[in-house]
Structure 1
Amino acid sequence: MDGILITLISLGVTGLFILGIPIFLVISLWVIGVSLVIDFTLANVGVTLYEGLNFYGLLALPLFILTGDLINAAGIAKRLSDFAYSCLSWLHGGLGMASLGACGLFAAISGSNSATTATIGGIMHPEMTKGNYDSKFAAATVAAGGTVGIIIPPSIIFIVYGFMMNLPIGDLFMAGLIPGILMVVAMQLVCYFIARKNGYGVLKAFRFKHAVKMGMRAWLGFLAIGIVLWGIYSGAFSPTEAAGMTTGFCLLAGVLVTRELKFSQLPTILMRSGQITGMLAPLIAVSVVMQQVLSLLGAKEFLTELLGLLGGYYPILFACLLIVLLAGTVLESLPNTIILAPILAPIAMSIGVDPIHFAVLFLIGDAIGFITPPYGLNLYVASSMTGIPYLQIVKAVLPYLYALMATWALVAFIPQLSLFMLSF
């Protein structure tokens, strides 16, 4: 009888999700409904919701979100984009490649996929269309570039994953560095060949002095990146302390150095960052309860037994990654992580996959989901930002999708790509 009720509840909340009900409410209704069925007391649910957020490491979450908004308002993101273009303007597709490079630099400060797409897209898409690029390809480029937002450290989702799976967030950050760079390079190669084939862009001679000048203008961005990476890598800061230092630095830089950030803008910036945090934090809290409920239902044991029928290291690993990818086509990265990581990570560990390596693989799959239809959040962000129909961007983004899939497979086959930075 319990099984029938749980199935009906699951079907019901799935229907609500299809109708567009926010994912937080969908998961909450499922958790409460199933808890009542299996006699998991609501008092325990309340305590677990509180304890789910009572974790010092999660303070980095709102701080990195705020950092992303500050570097945009302070003009630091624009200076990083200008520097990237000054280095690549002599290549076919140089402006597109610069957009992808700027996404990587922005990601190294902000830690958010959709924020990376929105910020760099808002700066670079108009420049690309004026520079003789097809507008659909330009929109696809900034959408694809945004995928590195949760891979190149710092990463908001790495913070959530580390919290949920009890892994060192600093180690996760460093493990994502090389794979994130590889993702950017792979997409830049795609951009180069497509631009060369179609004659996109206008070639400009490389001027060393101009590149140096643009680099000097972007020094604030490089320093912000350095604060994060050096602080965490050297052990001088915890990820939370690094987030606080970077937020404070970007605030002072915008007000005192670039002077593009006005005190009158701060309430709006803080409110926007607070709204994003307010959407993420309750979802994290309810995910802790969901883990408990799934554990009581034996979900991990069932899936472990099912995947165990495949036999062998790579069949099970790639089955796990396929599940992540398929879930990413319909779920945003946070609920995907919340639902699947506690189930799949122990399965991967049972066959000998390093937990840090699997975390990187899991989140690369999550990142690819940002440009994978029918969901593909970055595609929707690019569509709303440019006015180009969603399906047209989907078609244009496919070459980038294939490049990211190839990079994902490479990292899966060569664990040292994610573990190398932890060997020092």
Structure 2
Amino acid sequence: MSILYLFLVLFILLIAGAPVAVALGLASLVFILLDGMPSLVVLHNMVGGINSFPLIAVPFFIMAGHLMNTSGITTKIFAFARAAVGWMYGGLGHVNVGASVIFAGMSGAAVADAGGLGNIEIRAMKDAGYDTDFSVGITAASSTIGPIIPPSLPLVVYGVIADTSIGQLFAAGLIPGLLMATALMIMVSVFSRIRKYPRDERFSLSIFISSFGHAILPLMTPIIIVGGILTGVFTPTEAAIAAVAYSLCLGLFVYRTLSWKQILKVSQDTVETTASIMMIVAASSIFAWILTANQVAQAFATELLSFTQDKTAILLIIMLIVLVVGCFMETIAAITILTPVLLPVAMQFGIDPVHFGIILILNLMIGLLTPPVGMVLYVLSKVSGVPFERCVIATAPFLVPLIIVLVLLTFIPALSMWLPTLIYR
């Protein structure tokens, strides 16, 4: 019965608009007091939940993304992507996707992509005569590639909670991220043919070489991060620190676009963002401990098995649950709540934790593009001046290719498991 109170209090607090961390913490405290346990159990588990070495990567990846945005490196990335794929029909739509793939290897966060590249991309597409809705829609959809291609903040948090190798998770995200980019570029091509969008410009080898020369140092960032992790030179945490050091060198000494005042502002933003994430992780740690101690996952698995024992049906049910939760809850909070409940069920059916992590994160990324939460849509609404409701409608068609990729990844595990199996196993 106490478990029912746990979820009831959590639901009431979330509906009332309480921050996720507060809702999780208070709901857990109510359960513990009703169960007769000392309240210090809450603090003990919250501290234990964030006392994890891999979590140190979170603030450094956040800071690296902020530094890239502040130092103007995103402009160089956009220019290179424009020279590389702008010659295709609907060129700036393809540039949008290509730039997001490159930036994904630096920031690992969809909101950072939308906030950093989004303004540049939407303004350039508007100036070139593209429909505003199309510009906003493809910008929103392409930003979801960031948390799939390594490095990825959600994958770091999932790896800590699921006790799964973050290096394997990073390797597993590479091919799915490229699949997402391919699917979105196909969608751009379809729209471009129907609406007769122009090519941005003819391909010019000299412009390509020139833009590559200007962007080569920023382009080295994902190579340093991803290559260092996959080859074993760095742990994910060390790679995050290296990314910050490299970003500082570019901004301070190479391009000289960073001032110490800007670095202070970036540091403040990093602390603020990290604090909110860590509060959620800490609060969800006690929540997850309660669920595990009371065998909620086993009870949920038993209920599912009484309904059906078909693996395909179970996967569809799990993905539907995640999709619905993703529409209403912030990504990190959803990961920390859903993983202890759903991962044991998935593992009972022989689903690898690495594979499950990829489909879980992609599913939650789709949630970032749907109301009522839709954090990416709120960011793009702010940077583009387009009303939130219109952003929702503009993004809806681009959910189709993302859902297709999600289905493929769910039922063809090799798409995500081939690379980590090749490298680590």
| TM-score normalized by the length of structure 2 | 0.96
Q: Which amino acid aligns with 2:142?
A: G
Deviation for aligned residue 1:16: 3.0
Q: Quick one: which of 277, 284, 292 aligns to 2:274?
A: 277
Give 1:208-227 correspondences, 5 Å limit.
Answer: 208-227=205-224
Secondary structure of 2:322's match? helix
Give 1:60-139 correspondences, 5 Å limit.
Answer: 60-139=57-136
Deviation for aligned residue 1:97: 1.4
Tell whether 2:322 aligns with 1:328: no
Task: Tell me which residue corresponds to 2:202.
Answer: 205
Q: Quick one: which of 306, 317, 325 aligns to 1:319?
A: 317
Q: Tell which deviates more after alignment, 392-401 or 192-201.
A: 192-201
Q: Equivalents in 1 of 2:285, 2:10: separation in Å?
A: 18
Q: Equivalents in 2 of 1:113, 1:245: separation in Å?
A: 21
Tell whether 2:331 aligns with 1:355: no
Q: Which amino acid aligns with 2:135?
A: A
Task: Tell me which residue corresponds to 1:416.
Answer: 414
Deviation for aligned residue 1:199: 2.6
Deviation for aligned residue 1:12: 4.2
Deviation for aligned residue 1:95: 0.6
Asked if 2 retains the 8 angstrom alpha-carbon contact of 1:141 and 1:397, the reply is: yes
Give 1:4-403 correspondences, 5 Å limit.
Answer: 7=4, 10-308=7-305, 309-403=307-401
Asked if 1 retains the 8 angstrom alpha-carbon contact of 2:22 and 2:283, the reply is: no
Q: Which amino acid aligns with 1:106?
A: F
Q: Equivalents in 2 of 1:196, 1:287: separation in Å?
A: 47
Q: Equivalents in 1 of 2:146, 2:210: separation in Å?
A: 27
- Provide, for residues 98-127 of structure 1, a one-character-per-residue CA deviation record: whole Å limited to 9, x for no partner: 111111111111111111111110211111
Q: Which amino acid aligns with 1:57?
A: P
Deviant stretches of 4+, over 6 Å:
none
Secondary structure of 1:92's match? coil
Asked if 2 retains the 8 angstrom alpha-carbon contact of 1:111 and 1:155, the reply is: yes
Q: Equivalents in 1 of 2:32, 2:296: separation in Å?
A: 15
Q: Equivalents in 2 of 1:227, 1:411: separation in Å?
A: 27
Relative distance call for 1:12 and 1:46 in structure 2 (3 A) is closer
- Provide, for residues 281-331 of structure 1, a one-character-per-residue CA deviation record: whole Å limited to 9, x for no partner: 111111111111112333212210121121122111221111111111111
Deviation for aligned residue 1:19: 3.2
Deviation for aligned residue 1:13: 3.8
Question: What number of residue pairs does the alignment pair up?
Answer: 421
Deviation for aligned residue 1:7: 3.9
Q: Equivalents in 2 of 1:154, 1:109: separation in Å?
A: 7
Asked if 1 retains the 8 angstrom alpha-carbon contact of 2:292 and 2:340, the reply is: no
| TM-score normalized by the length of structure 1 | 0.96
Q: Equivalents in 2 of 1:27, 1:186: separation in Å?
A: 37
Deviation for aligned residue 1:365: 0.5
Asked if 2 retains the 8 angstrom alpha-carbon contact of 1:134 and 1:200, the reply is: no
Q: Tell which deviates more after alignment, 382-391 or 12-21.
A: 12-21
Relative distance call for 1:385 and 1:40 in structure 2 (3 A) is farther
Q: Which amino acid aligns with 1:386?
A: S
Q: Equivalents in 2 of 1:421, 1:29: separation in Å?
A: 41
Q: Equivalents in 1 of 2:4, 2:42: separation in Å?
A: 21
Asked if 2 retains the 8 angstrom alpha-carbon contact of 1:113 and 1:149, the reply is: yes
Relative distance call for 1:40 and 1:101 in structure 2 (3 A) is farther
Deviation for aligned residue 1:201: 4.4
Aligned-pair identity in percent equals 32
Q: Tell which deviates more after alignment, 295-304 or 258-267.
A: 295-304
Secondary structure of 1:150's match? coil
Unaligned runs of 5+ in 1: none
Relative distance call for 1:318 and 1:123 in structure 2 (3 A) is same
Secondary structure of 2:202's match? coil
Q: Equivalents in 1 of 2:44, 2:273: separation in Å?
A: 24
Asked if 2 retains the 8 angstrom alpha-carbon contact of 1:131 and 1:202, the reply is: no
Q: Equivalents in 1 of 2:160, 2:154: separation in Å?
A: 10
Q: Which amino acid aligns with 2:172?
A: A
Q: Tell which deviates more after alignment, 128-137 or 59-68.
A: 128-137
Q: Equivalents in 1 of 2:353, 2:293: separation in Å?
A: 23
Q: Equivalents in 1 of 2:318, 2:405: separation in Å?
A: 17
Q: Equivalents in 2 of 1:355, 1:203: separation in Å?
A: 42
